[in-house]
Structure 1
């Protein structure tokens, strides 16, 4: 997750916020207001805004000190732990809700589900959510896809429902369910390129490929009239720690 540290301010400015309905859905699934909430990979606080709206005491886990600094300024009432999820020790009895926004794929796939289960109170809720950046216009989607394939065919987003299937495959949680939120977000050329500069595959690519990609995508947006409308799909996966819960 430290790959984002040097673009923390850009990430905070350009990444779209999450729908307010995500917090409502988490509370409704939990069944009441949880006693405590923790967030994995809190970053600069995009997901933290959702979890803070729940109103419970909040612990944010963020390994990068630059992003943790922005987070402390943004959500001063939250307790910020600067370290990895693997280094963090959950409070006795676990937390009522464990959230993770866009950071689940950065965790060790062999241990993330078991660590999450162990961090939750009996009956506690795992809440994973993130955006998938599609396009409202199929012609725009095809043009961007063609441009990215010409750079590197591996530059593809995972399916929107991948976190749900990851949780299901772990067999460590009960009552897993998925909910989606959609909205359209128009972006002109420069804001779109700024957003691209915050994506993990872009940040981990070689510098020359990153520069070529920005130039190519800029030309594509210009050719399409200077504005793209994102079909922003936010997927929320909810599941429950069944340990100690009566059937």
Structure 2
């Protein structure tokens, strides 16, 4: 895994505090697509358990996986007893149990492309559901966004993660839907968007930025300088566009 993928553990507490959770609409969307009550799920890159709680609190028996022990330690503080944890990168998960649902929340882009879909398929029951969700967390006011871009520019050109397969942001089907459509393992690929707006203080917004991998891999002094420069150009409160793009697909039945 890349350094960016493994950078979050040092700020696990801040990640839990400043990253938003997931709305019940996401759970409802996945269950409606499944068409039956999903009993078991495996989560790829669970982090501090933002999405884990959404599913586990509604009766799904979740196995949460993450390569970082500090992130899983935060997760265990907040999840119900029907959650098991495995400290491992997705690529290191051992085959065995199959699940009704395999999902990733803002984490799939950290997995290696080689064998990604065949590995996910082996973790799913035939007919089981795969779900991926995520999306950029962007300032709603263009003037504030430009001020932040200018303040960030000496340190970072961008703080976002590019599409793993190069799909442009304006393409009708976004990644990973593009790859799912090409995979022989999956069918019924769907893409939906849950619209979401989040308002927060300038300090909390900077706290959120402090959990972004692009900043975490900067030298500490440089990171602190960048975040300080950004905070200086912010109004007291900022509104964020935090839409969640959801991709759903079904594992093909075995012949």
The alignment status of 1:165 with 2:165, answered yes or no, reads no
1:13-46 residue CA offsets vs partner (Å, 9 max, x unmatched): 1101111100000000001112311101111101
Q: CA deviation at 1:2?
A: 2.9
- CA distance in structure 2 between the aligned counterparts of 1:151 and 1:190, rounded to whole angstroms: 19
Answer 1 or 2: which has greater helix percent: 1
> In the aligned structure 2, how far is the partner of 1:142 from the partner of 1:154?
12
Is contact 1:27-1:54 (8 Å) kept?
Answer: no
**Could you tell me which residue of structure 2 aligns to residue 118 of structure 1?**
122
Runs (4+) of structure 1 moved beyond 6 Å?
Answer: none
TM-score (norm 1): 0.89
State whether structure 2 residue 210 is matched by structure 1 residue 200. Answer: no
Offset of 1:69 from its aligned partner?
Answer: 1.7
Q: For residue 5 of structure 1, report the CA deviation from its aligned partner.
A: 0.8
d(CA) in 2 for partners of 1:21, 1:34: 16
- More displaced, 19-28 or 50-59? 50-59
**Cα drift, residue 140 of structure 1:** 1.8
Q: Which consecutive residues of structure 1, in runs of 5 or more, have no partner in the other structure?
A: none
Match of 1:228 among 228, 238, 250: 238
Q: Does 1:137 align with 2:141?
A: yes
User: Any idea what SS the aligned residue of 2:90 has?
Assistant: coil
Please say if residues 42 and 103 of structure 2, whose CA atoms lie closer than 8 Å, have aligned partners that are also in contact: yes
Gaps of 5+ in 2: 163-168
Question: Post-superposition shift, 1:146?
Answer: 3.1
**Farther-moved stretch of structure 1 (144-153 vs 95-104):** 144-153
- RMSD between superposed Cα atoms in Å: 2.0
What's the secondary structure of 1:113's corresponding residue?
helix
1:8 corresponds, among 5, 12, 25, to 12
Deviations 1:45-79 (A, max 9, x none): 01102222442221111221122122222114201
- Between stretches 165-174 and 31-40, larger displacement belongs to 165-174
What is the number of residues matched between the two proteins?
Answer: 241
Q: Does 1:175 align with 2:188?
A: yes
